[in-house]
Amino acid sequence: VTNAKSGPVPARIAEPGWWRQPFRMMQTNLRLIDAGLDVDAVAETVRAHGADAWLLNTGGIYASFPSELASQTPNPELGRRPSGDIVGDAVRAARARGLRLLARMDFSKVLPHVAADHPEWLYVSASGERQVFNGLVTTCPSAGYFQQEAFDILSEVLRRFDVDGFFINWFMYSEWTYSHEYLGPCHCQTCRAEWRAEHGGEPPTGPQDAGYATWQEWSRAKVLELGGRLRAHIESISPDTPLILHDTADIRYAEANNAVGREFWPHQTDESVSAAFTRQPQTPVLVNCVSFLDFPYRMAVESPDRFANYLVQAMARGGAISTYIMGPPGAIDYGPVLEVAGDITRFHQRHDDLYAHLEQTAEAVIIDPVAADVHGPGAAATAEFRGLYSALRELHVPFDVLEAGELSRVPTAQLDRYSTMVLPDAARVPSVAATAVDEWVSRGGRLIATLAEVGTGGMPRALGIEAIERSDIGASLLSAYAMDREGGVVPLHGVAHHVRPVDGAASASRLVPPARYGPPEYCYGHEASDEPSLVEYIHGEGRSATFTWSMGRAYRELDLPSLRHHFALALRDLAPEIFLATDLPESIGVIAGRSGDRQVLHLVNHTGLHRNGFGTPVVASGYSVDLPAGAHSIHALVADQVLTSTLSDGKVRVALPPISTFEVLTWKDAE
Ligand SMILES: [Zn+2]
């Protein structure tokens, strides 16, 4: 395993295309009644915000210009402008100020008269229902509107306007209506015929059907394939016009948003941007940050501190940032968000060169099960992952994120950039992923794993565990513990397994089976068994340490510091060098990167964390970090200071300036 800091740098920005350089965007999502907008005033606001690209509604449901296509209905309010053309006016206003104008398209729905003309374009449920909301009818990505008409719609825009890029909204097989009504996978004629040809029978009707997982993969592959063809179509007409969409596009779209009723996960943006770059380092990621609460509440302004966290997490991982508002600026009062967003966007603009070259360089990686189903079958897997993620962040271990499905796909050299891997739910990974993990450990990798849910996949041999003999869950775990080698005990929670280690594996912590609990008079008698709760093993050139229980979920749900300490003990034994030496509190996280010859450390202040969002952080003063020997030219970019340092045990100790929302530390290594 090579040291992360000396590995090759994927030269994302070396390729042609303006979008490979860092950029900042503002989206004005227009309502029909906004047709009279003052394009010069908007362009001025976009520029003053620190953005250099403006995303504007162009076509799809309504066209913001007098389209000649029968499928495109011009906004009936276009008569409010002398030109009758919002897009043409906006392109001119943007050009005059050196801004790029990006066109927002939406092929997911059509107006009733278009639906009447083309019933074959529409989504149809298994029972023959359409998805209709406010009169708009959902279309199907398999059918003609997406497969043919969309190409003509894009061609018309490119013929008429010098736009700098496209974004296509809601590009997916829709199973839900806007009003949260579940109608299931599409059963239109095209979908049924294609499904029958490829899989036989009828498409599934929902997650309860056996074929649903296959349908999810099938529909995802179709969306990726179609996105790739649309991208190629745009490129064939205008090579310098990128498509913002997903993995097969030029720029990957990510949205940082809130949703009423969805479990809050404070690291959502950090996780998704890191996973995107680890998967495909060459493709830029744009994070569009939503200024309002949720789509039914587009006039309710988001918490400015939550918004600040979206932006900071996105840019700390190297993402392009964007502020998304409804209407032209001022139509709805997003003032507090715009103020914070403008400050951070202009910071990004001032440090354009740093962000242009920013690459992830953490030596540790956490494997993401991508099971973000926080209430359904994936709930336990999500909790397992998020608990370990939080623990690493609080322990000041810089790390990247890699999706489990990518383990067997990323090039060996890319995986070998990591010295240490954190693998939640190790018995649940697919067999090919388990093999990739085994090979990586045998080449010298250090693995820390947990056994939580047991799936149909293959458990990595590198764990040194021959079999899981039986499992305790729920009530049968009450009053059970794990005891570490220091004699400390932590509660078992979630699921614990009785395992048979292979010869040569060592037990580093032990299970303490339940004893009586309840009336205090009876609460004694716990004794550690000989069974391991943490198995250590040497595999090839590498090593592993495996918690035989759901350590991550326990930390996620119980938040006990002793659980984090229990995890840290095992991790320090395995990979002591991956911890940043600092006296920072646990609520200030670190994200490591490199930009050219500068090392970069983003410090993110999470002291404002609330149950369902972020409030104002406490300014953190008087802390320090230790940098490697020889570190010099140390800057704090937010404080805009050159920092002084002292030598301590061969390390360079740096006194940090007060940290409000975030700070960015840069330094150069010894020559
Ligand atoms: Zn369909």
Span 393-419, average pLDDT? 95
Distance 302 CA to ligand 1 centre (A): 35
Q: What's the pLDDT at 3?
A: 35
Pairing of strands 100-106, 165-169: parallel
**pLDDT at position 522 over 60:** yes
Query: What dihedral angle (degrees, nearest 10) is formed by the CA atoms of 83, 89, 93, 94?
Result: 180
Least confident span in 175-184, 236-245, 288-297, 633-642: 175-184
Distance from C-alpha of 645 to C-alpha of 626, rounded to nearest angstrom: 9
**pLDDT at position 2 over 60:** no
* Amino acid, res. 507: S
Distance from C-alpha of 175 to C-alpha of 96, rounded to nearest angstrom: 43
Distance 133 CA to ligand 1 centre (A): 18
- The pLDDT tens digits for 538-596 are 999 999 999 999 999 999 999 999 999 999 999 999 999 999 999 999 999 999 999 99
Q: How far is CA 395 from CA 4, 390, 570, 617, in A?
A: 19, 8, 13, 19
Q: CB of 488 within 8 A of CB of 566?
A: yes
Distance 374 CA to ligand 1 centre (A): 28
Q: What's the pLDDT at 8?
A: 38
Distance 206 CA to ligand 1 centre (A): 14
Q: Environment class of residue 498 by beta-carbon count within 10 Å: exposed (0-12), middle (13-18) or buried (19+)?
A: middle
Based on C-alpha coordinates, what's the Rg of the chain?
27
Q: What's the pLDDT at 16?
A: 83
Distance from C-alpha of 17 to C-alpha of 241, rounded to nearest angstrom: 8
Q: What's the pLDDT at 7?
A: 37
Distance 340 CA to ligand 1 centre (A): 42
Q: What's the pLDDT at 220?
A: 94
* Amino acid, res. 284: P
Distance 124 CA to ligand 1 centre (A): 7
Q: What's the pLDDT at 553?
A: 97
For residue 379, name the pLDDT band (cuts at 50, 70, 90): confident
Q: What's the pLDDT at 374?
A: 55
Among residues 479, 467, 572, 486, which one has the least CA distance to residue 519? 479
Distance 142 CA to ligand 1 centre (A): 5
**pLDDT at position 350 over 60:** yes
**DSSP-based three-state secondary structure for 527:** coil
Least confident span in 142-146, 302-306, 470-474: 470-474
Distance 125 CA to ligand 1 centre (A): 9
**pLDDT at position 5 over 50:** no
For residue 26, name the pLDDT band (cuts at 50, 70, 90): very high
Q: CB of 257 within 8 A of CB of 171?
A: no
Distance 39 CA to ligand 1 centre (A): 38
Evaluate the CA torsion angle 600, 402, 432, 544 in order and state its sign: positive
Distance from C-alpha of 257 to C-alpha of 100, rounded to nearest angstrom: 24
What DSSP string describes 201-246? SPPP-STTSTTHHHHHHHHHHHHHHHHHHHHHHHHHH-TT--EEES
Distance 251 CA to ligand 1 centre (A): 26
- Percentages of the chain per state (helix, strand, coil), in multiples of 5: 30, 25, 40
Distance 183 CA to ligand 1 centre (A): 12
Span 147-176, average pLDDT? 97
Query: What percentage of the chain carries pLDDT values higher than 90?
Result: 90
Distance 381 CA to ligand 1 centre (A): 31
Span 332-344, average pLDDT? 97
Distance 252 CA to ligand 1 centre (A): 25
Distance from C-alpha of 437 to C-alpha of 651, rounded to nearest angstrom: 33
For residue 377, name the pLDDT band (cuts at 50, 70, 90): low
Distance 187 CA to ligand 1 centre (A): 5
Q: Which residues have CB under 8 Å from 309's CB, separation 6+?
A: 266, 269, 604, 606, 614, 661
Distance 140 CA to ligand 1 centre (A): 5
Q: What's the pLDDT at 370?
A: 74
Distance 70 CA to ligand 1 centre (A): 22
How is residue 176 written in tokens? 């839900």
- The pLDDT tens digits for 393-403 are 999 999 999 99
Q: What's the pLDDT at 11?
A: 47
Q: Which helix (H) or strand (E) holds 153?
A: helix 150-160
